[in-house]
Amino acid sequence: MDLRAALEPPLDLTGLLDAVPELSLARELEGSPYHHLDTLDHVLEVVRGVEYELEEERIGARIEDDRVPGLRLAALLHDVAKPVTRGELEGRVLFVSHDSLGALMVRRIGRRLGLSAPETDLTATLTALHLKIGFMGHPRSDYPPERLARAAGPFGEELAVLSWADRLAAQGPRLKPEHIERHRELCTRFLRISRELGPHPEPDHAALERVLPSGAKGADIGYAACYLRLLVARGTGEKDALARLPRLL
């Protein structure tokens, strides 16, 4: 099954589930009161929302044509870990660490589908960070704006589009119009900060391959690039971060 073709609008749901059967677990999976759709329909709405934003440019992101397929894939997989992380606490629905676990699942799915290092890097990075723009202004955030921009690196424009589409696809009973406007402002602020800190270097996947165990596939290399970028953004020295990569696989 050609996953890229299934992601072309209009979406081919049968093809998507054939290629990524993990998504079938999201059907009828209830989300938080900020969501009005089950998790699978939410994911599909995010993919469509990415297309709308590419046409409407409401937040002004600049997406290169060759990044669009990877952005679509990230929209499809950003919540792939929700079915295996869902829990409840005092009546609240939670999906603890579904972002970081989701990035790891992207690597596994990428190996199965034969994704390239750049595709996996983009998809894993956006999956790991897709919640962060919404919280970057919080004083206890683990990713304040400049750190988040460095963690996203060359994928900052794509991260903003995914975050915006994700917000628009979650319009449950607790959502208020001001929440939407606040998130639009956060996305445009993030874009401004990311551009001010840029240009961000493109990852050297070929160099990374040389420090990874033999037999590493494109998905492994892409995930390692994502992991390295997140470590460095959080303050780990690049030499120490590189030394961790062989153990990652």
- Domain span at 75: 3-248
Q: Residue 224 to residues 121, 209, 234: CA-CA distances in angstroms?
A: 8, 9, 15
For residue 95, the SS3 value is strand
Identify the band that residue 119 occupies on the pLDDT scale cut at 50, 70 and 90. Answer: very high
202-213 average pLDDT score: 95
> What is the pLDDT, as a whole number, of residue 34?
59
Identify the band that residue 236 occupies on the pLDDT scale cut at 50, 70 and 90. Answer: very high
Query: Mind listing the pLDDT tens digit for each residue in 150-160?
Result: 999 999 999 99
Spatial neighbors of 57 by CB under 8 A, at least 6 apart, are: none
On the question of pLDDT at 77 being above 80, the answer is yes
Lowest mean pLDDT, pick from 34-48, 104-118, 216-230: 34-48
Residue 151, domain CATH: 1.10.3210
Please state the domain count of the chain.
1
Distance of CA 51 to the CA centre of its chain: 16
152-174 average pLDDT score: 92
Q: What tokens were used for 123?
A: 């998809």
On the question of pLDDT at 36 being above 80, the answer is no
> What is the pLDDT, as a whole number, of residue 117?
97
On the question of pLDDT at 32 being above 70, the answer is no
> What is the pLDDT, as a whole number, of residue 137?
79
